[in-house]
C-alpha cells in the first residue's frame, strides 16, 4: 500500500480517500466554555452529538427539576412513540429521574434498566459543585430483545395490537450491544461529559464521598452480622485523652482513627453527625490542654479556628486528616509543656514513660530502649526535670490509681497491679506519700463527696 499527497489531496493506493483542504478547515473544535444548566455549551453539545452519531444511541438531557431540555438523535429514541414518556409523573419518567439523582451522588456513570427492560446510562452534570441536571443515554438493547420488553411496552402504555406491533418493529431495528460493550460505552459517555465541563474535580469529589459512604455501610453491615452492639466509646475516648495528655503522638493518632471510625458507625456515615461528635471530643481535649498551662492557643490561634477547620470539611477522609493534624499539634504541645528542654534523650524517655507507666518499668528498660547508660540518664533526668526518674514515674502511677479508685470497683490490690505495682504495701506507701492518705481512705473520701 502506498500513501502520497498531491495538491492537498491524500491518496491511499490501491484505495483512494479524498480529503480536500476546505474539508479539513471546516472542522473546528468549539471553545471549552463552562456550560450552564439550560443551554449547556457549544463544546458539550458537540461532544454529545459526536457520541450519539457514532454510537447510534440517543441522549436526553434533563434539568435538575426533571424537565426535558434537549434530545440528541431524537428520531431513534423509542420512548418518543409512547405518550407516557411525555408525562413527568409517569413510572417511566420517575425511573429516569431516580437514576439521574443517583448518578449525581455516585459521581460516575450509572447503568440501569428502565421500566420496559431496556438498558440506559445516567450521568450527572455538575457545575461549580452543584447538581445542574443529568444525561440519559438510551434506551439500549442489551444482549437481545426479550419478549418481556414488548409486553412491558403494552403494560406501561396501554397499547392496542397495532401500536404494540409498531413498537416491536421499532425495537427490532435497534442495535444490540453486549454487556461489556455497554460498560465501555458508559465510560465513553462519561468522558464526553466531564471533559466538556471545566473544573471536573467535582466528579472526583463525588466519587470519593460515595466510596466513603459505601465503606461505612459495609462496616455497619459487618457489625450487624457480628451482632455487636455499638455504644459511645467512652473508654477509647479516655485512652485517647490520656495519649494526648502524656504526649504520645503516634499512639494518639492510631486511637483517633479508631474513635472517628466508631463515630462513623454510630452515625451511620452521616458526616454532620460525625462532625458533631468530633467537635465535642476536641472541646474536651482543648479544655484539658488549656488547664495544663500550655501555650496551645498561641499555636492553634483560637478554639474557634479549630471549630471552623473541622466544620468546613466536606468528606470523612478530610475530617480525619484535619483531626489528625490538630491532635498532633496538641499532643506535641502537651509533651513540650511537660518538658521544654533541649535534651532529645529526656524527651524520648518521657514519651516512653508516659506510654508504659502502668507497666513495671525501670531504669534498665530505659537503657535498653533508648540505648543510653542508666547512670548517665538518671543524672540527666534529675537535672532536666527537677525530680528523679522514680518520683516522676510514681507520680503518673498514683494519678492513674486515683482515677481507678474513684471510677471503678476494682479492689485495692487490683488497682495496685493495674498501675504497675507488684507489692500492695509499697503501692500504699507511695500513694500515701503523694496524697497524704491511703488508697482506701482516698476512695472513701471520693465516695462521700459524690454523695454530697
Integer Cα distance of 449 and 451 in angstroms:
5
Least confident segment among 98-112, 143-157, 191-205, 296-310: 296-310
pLDDT above 90 for 59? yes
- pLDDT, residue 14, reads 44
Q: Looking at residues 180-187, what average pLDDT do you find?
A: 85
**Which grid coordinates are listed for 395?**
507520680
pTM of model > 0.75: no
The Cα-based distances of 379 to 138, 347, 392 in angstroms read: 80, 15, 14
Integer Cα distance of 83 and 118 in angstroms:
18
- pLDDT, residue 31, reads 66
- pLDDT for 363-400, tens place per residue? 888 888 888 888 888 888 888 888 888 888 888 888 88
Integer Cα distance of 122 and 277 in angstroms:
36
The Cα-based distances of 296 to 89, 284, 292, 332, 335 in angstroms read: 58, 14, 9, 10, 11
pLDDT above 70 for 132? yes
pLDDT above 90 for 223? no
Q: Are 125 and 37 in contact (CB under 8 A)?
A: yes
Q: pLDDT-based confidence at 5, cuts 50/70/90?
A: very low
- pLDDT, residue 158, reads 66
Alpha-helix residue ranges (DSSP H) falling in 139-200:
147-157, 161-172, 179-194
- pLDDT, residue 384, reads 82
Integer Cα distance of 61 and 100 in angstroms:
10
- pLDDT, residue 127, reads 79
Amino acid at each position: 500500500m502506498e500513501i502520497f499527497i498531491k495538491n492537498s489531496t491524500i491518496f491511499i493506493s490501491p484505495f483512494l480517500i479524498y480529503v480536500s483542504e476546505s474539508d479539513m478547515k471546516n472542522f473546528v473544535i468549539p471553545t471549552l466554555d463552562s456550560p450552564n444548566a439550560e443551554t449547556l455549551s457549544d463544546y458539550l453539545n458537540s461532544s454529545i452529538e459526536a457520541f450519539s452519531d457514532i454510537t447510534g444511541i440517543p441522549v436526553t438531557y434533563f434539568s435538575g427539576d426533571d424537565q426535558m431540555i434537549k434530545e440528541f438523535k431524537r428520531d431513534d429514541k423509542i420512548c418518543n412513540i409512547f405518550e407516557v414518556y411525555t408525562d413527568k409523573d409517569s413510572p417511566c419518567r420517575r425511573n429516569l429521574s431516580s437514576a439521574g439523582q443517583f448518578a449525581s451522588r455516585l459521581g460516575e456513570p450509572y447503568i440501569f434498566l428502565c421500566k420496559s427492560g431496556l438498558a440506559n446510562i445516567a450521568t450527572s452534570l455538575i457545575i461549580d459543585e452543584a447538581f445542574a441536571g443529568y444525561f440519559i443515554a438510551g434506551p439500549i438493547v442489551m444482549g437481545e430483545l426479550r419478549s418481556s420488553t414488548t409486553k412491558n411496552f403494552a403494560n406501561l402504555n396501554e397499547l392496542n395490537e397495532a401500536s404494540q406491533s409498531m413498537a416491536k418493529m421499532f425495537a427490532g431495528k435497534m442495535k444490540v450491544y453486549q454487556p461489556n460493550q455497554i460498560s465501555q460505552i458508559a465510560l465513553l459517555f462519561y468522558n464526553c461529559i466531564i471533559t466538556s465541563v471545566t473544573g471536573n474535580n467535582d466528579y472526583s469529589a463525588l466519587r470519593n464521598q460515595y466510596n466513603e459512604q459505601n465503606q461505612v455501610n459495609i462496616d455497619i453491615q459487618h457489625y450487624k452480622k457480628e451482632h455487636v452492639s455499638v455504644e459511645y466509646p467512652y473508654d477509647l475516648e479516655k485512652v485517647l485523652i490520656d495519649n494526648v495528655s502524656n504526649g504520645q503522638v503516634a499512639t494518639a493518632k492510631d486511637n483517633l482513627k479508631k474513635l472517628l471510625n466508631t463515630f462513623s458507625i454510630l452515625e451511620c456515615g452521616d458526616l454532620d453527625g460525625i462532625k458533631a461528635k468530633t467537635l465535642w471530643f476536641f472541646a474536651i481535649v482543648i479544655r484539658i490542654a488549656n488547664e495544663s498551662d500550655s501555650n496551645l492557643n498561641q499555636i492553634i490561634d483560637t478554639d474557634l479556628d479549630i471549630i471552623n477547620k473541622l466544620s468546613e470539611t466536606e468528606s470523612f477522609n478530610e475530617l480525619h486528616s484535619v483531626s489528625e493534624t490538630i491532635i498532633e499539634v496538641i499532643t506535641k504541645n502537651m509533651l513540650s509543656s511537660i518538658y521544654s528542654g533541649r535534651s532529645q534523650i529526656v524527651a524520648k524517655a518521657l514519651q516512653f514513660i508516659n506510654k508504659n507507666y502502668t507497666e513495671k518499668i525501670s531504669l534498665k528498660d530505659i537503657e535498653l530502649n533508648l540505648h543510653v547508660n542508666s547512670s548517665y540518664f538518671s543524672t540527666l533526668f534529675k537535672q532536666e526535670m527537677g525530680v528523679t526518674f522514680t518520683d516522676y514515674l510514681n507520680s503518673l502511677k498514683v494519678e492513674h490509681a486515683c482515677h481507678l479508685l474513684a471510677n471503678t470497683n476494682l479492689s485495692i490490690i487490683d488497682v495496685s497491679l493495674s498501675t504497675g505495682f507488684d507489692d500492695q504495701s509499697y503501692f500504699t506507701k507511695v500513694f500515701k506519700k503523694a496524697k497524704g492518705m491511703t488508697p482506701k481512705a482516698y476512695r472513701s473520701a471520693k465516695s462521700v463527696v459524690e454523695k454530697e
